[in-house]
Amino acid sequence: MRHGSIYEEEIAGKAYDTRILARFSRYVLPYRTPITLVLLILPLVAACRLAQPWLIKLAIDEHITTGKPEGLVSIALAFMGILVLESLLSFLEVFLLQSVGQKVMADMREELFRHVINLPVSWFDRVPTGSAVTRLTSDIEVLGEMFASGIITIIGDILLLAGIVSIMLWMNPKLSLVTFTVLPFLCYVAYTFRRRMRQAFREVRARLARLNAFLAESIGGISIIQSFNRQTDEERRFTELNASYRDANMPVIFWDASLYAIVEALSSIAVALIIWYGGGEIVKGTLTFGVLVAFIQYIEKFFTPIRDLSSKYSVMQGAMAALERIFALLDTPSAAVPFNGQGTAGLSSQPPAVSRQRSGPFTAGDTTAPPLIEFRNVSFAYHDSNNALDDLNLIIRRGERIALVGESGGGKTTITRLLTRLYEIDNGAILIEGADIQTMPLPALRRRIGIVLQDPCLFAGSIEFNICLGDELARERVRMAAAIVGADRFIEQLPLGYAEEVRERGNNFSTGEKQLISFARAVAFNPEILVLDEATASVDSASEQMIQQGIKALMQGRTSLVVAHRLSTIQDADRIVVIHRARKMEEGTHQELMHLQGFYYRLHQLQFS
């Protein structure tokens, strides 16, 4: 079954409920005022419930059995008043708790999303999208169920149980002890069920994440599934995962139903003991009928929260399993380094254009100029596999246009990923203006680099938003950026122009149009360093010709790193670097490499012969 190994480790190990709840309390503390009000309401609700059997006892012993009905009206009115008060207090309690629950869920969801978008890219390579979505949605929703079921009201239940025990012991200690003979067995059952339901709920959450991962993958690749007629196979896979999720829920249902049934049986046994022993005491004249009725009422109220506790316990177990997964995600180290706006040694915190002016003019290819970017003995491997880069040394000077060519999988794209710290190098160092990029704040580093990828990524929203991504400075340059790369030609022909809506993944635009928007995005952010990773590979010949002039304008005054398979697009590069099997094999201009008749020459012959 797909993705299975990813989740097996998440459902193993010992759970520490107290530790998890203590950590969870940090999210509840900001709402201490409504929580305090609920805690003040709980004793009042318990008092209302405790008073009801006592009033029934008074009505029986002092009025019904004695033949004095004149006091029954007052007792009945008091009983009704207590019921109304209990209803109002219970409404306020539930309203406040669920309101706090929604606010806590919103806070946790926001923190979790903020953490997820700052996680290293390697984490997303390992964890399916559906798993991350599950933690942000259904795992958080389980916490809402926890508040709805009344996690705080467990305190009220405890107060009610303590009050019932005290009153019963005060009214008749012997009858109370007979009644409580079922409690040891009840405690044993609750302890045994706790451990079994815990593991069951962990399994349920893990298999739900697996199901969501499959759904996200299938929907994302629906065109491939249909094109290759794989619907039946995908249905079979979904059936397996769906059955796995269903089967994981069966133990939860079994233990929940068993606990409820056992509590119900123990409640009936307790009532039977009261009738048996209490009836004998009434015959002997040592117990009044009102006390017997009150005992029966109290024992029903005693087992009601315990009976409800089985369902509350199920929700709590689900919440604990969800919190384990949420906190495990929050504990995953983030890739983001806080940026204080002050810059670091060798890295300007000013806009890129200011940095270029300050550093002085350099001519592309000037070997006397200090390097802007330097890869020094860099090695890197993905997930403990063979090296994607092996002892790479590369110097890029300001204003240079460097092209990376070579076979697919040779390591070209890896170079661009390491430069932007989407992945961290294993050995060596990458320097910008002599400063190690690992010491630089990520926001400041990435602000200097603009990237255009082979597969354009567009977001739901307007074209203007997709170019500026909500950045106010970039928003001022949207139209200028679109004009530079030629995107304005088709944008201005749209009914709403730059306000035209972009659907999911930009499926209402052609691949060429989406790529033009990506180019405009890079221009709008005015980067100092430009990375083009197969940026024109998905664009047709007509579109490519249209944007070549815009690309030249975009590269003017910028340091460019171009990954390309089409050698015709990079022949005028200042230097061409040939990457073969994770190593730099050749370096030079087009004419120099052709004259060398090495790797580049053979690549050129393959494409143009």
CB-CB neighbours of 418 under 10 Å: 23
Give every CB contact of residue 396 below 8 A, 6+ residues apart in sequence. 371, 372, 373, 374, 402, 559, 561
- Clarify whether residues 298 and 400 are in a common domain: no
Q: What is the pLDDT of residue 88?
A: 94
Confidence check: pLDDT of 467 > 80: yes
Q: What is the mean pLDDT of residues 472-499?
A: 87
The helix-helix angle for 129-136 and 289-330 (nearest 10°) equals 140
Within-domain flag for 564 = no
What is the helix (H) or strand (E) element at residue 107, kind and residue range? helix 72-116
- Clarify whether residues 306 and 382 are in a common domain: no
Q: What is the pLDDT of residue 223?
A: 67
Return d(Cα 152, Cα 51) in angstroms, integer.
22
Within-domain flag for 525 = no
Per-residue confidence at 8, pLDDT binned at 50, 70, 90?
A: very low
Within-domain flag for 358 = yes
Name the domain boundary from 277, 302, 330: 330
Return d(Cα 122, Cα 538) in angstroms, integer.
25
Q: Encode pLDDT of 379-400 as tens digits.
A: 998 876 778 888 889 999 988 8
- Clarify whether residues 374 and 427 are in a common domain: yes
CB-CB neighbours of 589 under 10 Å: 15
Per-residue confidence at 460, pLDDT binned at 50, 70, 90?
A: confident
Buried b (16+ CB within 10 A) or exposed e, 474-496: beebbbebbbbbbbbebbeeeee
- Clarify whether residues 261 and 389 are in a common domain: no
Q: What is the pLDDT of residue 33?
A: 92
- Clarify whether residues 277 and 362 are in a common domain: no
The mean pLDDT of the chain is 80
Question: 146: phi > 0 → left, psi -120 to 50 → alpha, else beta; which?
Answer: alpha
Is residue 131 within 8 A of residue 9, CB to CB? The reply is: no
Classify 369 as helix, strand or coil: coil
Q: What is the pLDDT of residue 375?
A: 92
Within-domain flag for 303 = yes
- Clarify whether residues 394 and 272 are in a common domain: no
Q: What is the pLDDT of residue 279?
A: 84
**Distance of alpha carbon 162 from its chain centroid, rounded?**
41
Percent of the chain residues topping a pLDDT of 70: 85
Name the domain boundary from 300, 330, 360: 330
Question: Pairing mode, if any, of strands 371-381 and 427-432?
Answer: antiparallel
Q: Encode pLDDT of 228-287 as tens digits.
A: 677 888 888 889 989 998 998 888 888 778 877 888 888 888 888 888 888 888 888 787
- Clarify whether residues 429 and 396 are in a common domain: yes
Structural domain harbouring 141: 18-330
Within-domain flag for 488 = no
Q: Which residue has the higher pLDDT, 104 or 460?
A: 104
Domain count, the chain: 2
CATH assignment at residue 418: 3.40.50.300
- Clarify whether residues 387 and 310 are in a common domain: no
Q: What is the mean pLDDT of residues 364-373?
A: 67
- Clarify whether residues 189 and 223 are in a common domain: yes
Q: Which residue has the higher pLDDT, 469 or 304?
A: 469
CATH assignment at residue 89: 1.20.1560.10
- Clarify whether residues 326 and 360 are in a common domain: no
Q: C-alpha angle 502/504/505, rounded to 5°?
A: 90
Q: What is the pLDDT of residue 84?
A: 94
Confidence check: pLDDT of 337 > 50: no
Query: Among the listed ranges 58-62, 278-282, 302-306, 341-345, which one has the minimum average pLDDT value?
Result: 341-345
- Clarify whether residues 222 and 85 are in a common domain: yes
Confidence check: pLDDT of 366 > 60: no
Q: What is the pLDDT of residue 204?
A: 82
Return d(Cα 525, Cα 527) in angstroms, integer.
6
Q: What is the mean pLDDT of residues 537-558?
A: 66
112-118's contacts with Cβ under 8 Å and 24+ in sequence apart are 112/136, 112/140, 112/326, 112/329, 112/330, 115/329, 115/330, 115/332, 115/334, 116/329, 118/334, 118/335, 118/336
